[in-house]
Amino acid sequence: MLAEVGAALWQGALLLLALLVVFAGVYLAVYFSSWGSRPHWFEAFRDRFKPRYWLDNRFWPWIHQDTKYWVARLRFDKGPVVVAGRPSACRYWSLSYYPAEEFNTSIDPQSVRLDGEGRFRITLGQGIEDSEEAQNIRVDDGVTRGVIELRITLPDVDEPIRLPGVYQNDTLLVEEAEI
């Protein structure tokens, strides 16, 4: 009798493990196939519990309530990416690139150059050199996908948050927005 119970428990555990592997495989297939379709900004804190953003948000359990993070997942193997817009009214902001690793390159208010209309234009791509003056962020060779992160700390509650537009090869990927 005890051997039969043990065998049933063992078979149940194997079935559960198989179901978890199948679920994880389907989830990863959907996640990786979504990189090339419809890039958009999503708010990391607000959307952190949506299953499709779990992998993107796995490093952000400590987000402070006074800081907002907006993230866009992009492909860098299709050409340079240009992020252009107006800075939000806030104490501090930065735009960072992450090649799905624990390191980033950023441009922030101290290093950004605004044009005569108060707009910035930051180019991210392979084969360009990092340069605060030229507003370039070099994407590592061989990186096909990564995320850009717009961090806004202590936003002015009387002003809208401004999300920049994102372009690739002169094609609009993500519209500029105020929220």
Domain map (residue ranges) of the chain:
1-33, 39-174
- Name the residue with tokens 């005890």: 2
Single-letter code of the amino acid located at 68: K
pLDDT value of residue 45 = 61
| Residues 6 or more apart whose Cβ sits within 8 Å of residue 43 | 68, 69, 70, 71
Q: Dihedral sign, CA of 123, 126, 127, 133?
A: positive
CA distance 41 to 48: 13
Question: Contacts from 157-163 at CB under 8 Å and sequence distance 24+?
Answer: 158/89, 159/88, 159/89, 160/88, 161/68, 161/70, 161/88, 162/85, 162/86, 162/87, 162/88, 163/41, 163/70, 163/85
Q: Dihedral sign, CA of 44, 151, 143, 125?
A: positive
The token pair at 68 is 């907002």
pLDDT value of residue 83 = 95
Q: How far is CA 75 from CA 32, 119, 143, 146, 153, in A?
A: 11, 24, 9, 7, 27
pLDDT value of residue 35 = 62
CA distance 137 to 129: 7
pTM value is 0.68
pLDDT in tens, 25-73: 888 777 666 665 678 787 766 555 566 666 665 555 555 667 788 888 8
Q: Residues 51, 153, 177, 106: what is their CA dihedral angle, to the nearest 10 degrees?
A: -80
79: left (phi over 0), alpha (psi -120 to 50) or beta: left
**Ranges in the chain, pLDDT < 70:** 31-37, 44-65, 100-104, 132
pLDDT value of residue 43 = 76
Under CATH, what is the fold of the domain 39-174?
Jelly Rolls (2.60.120)
pLDDT value of residue 75 = 86
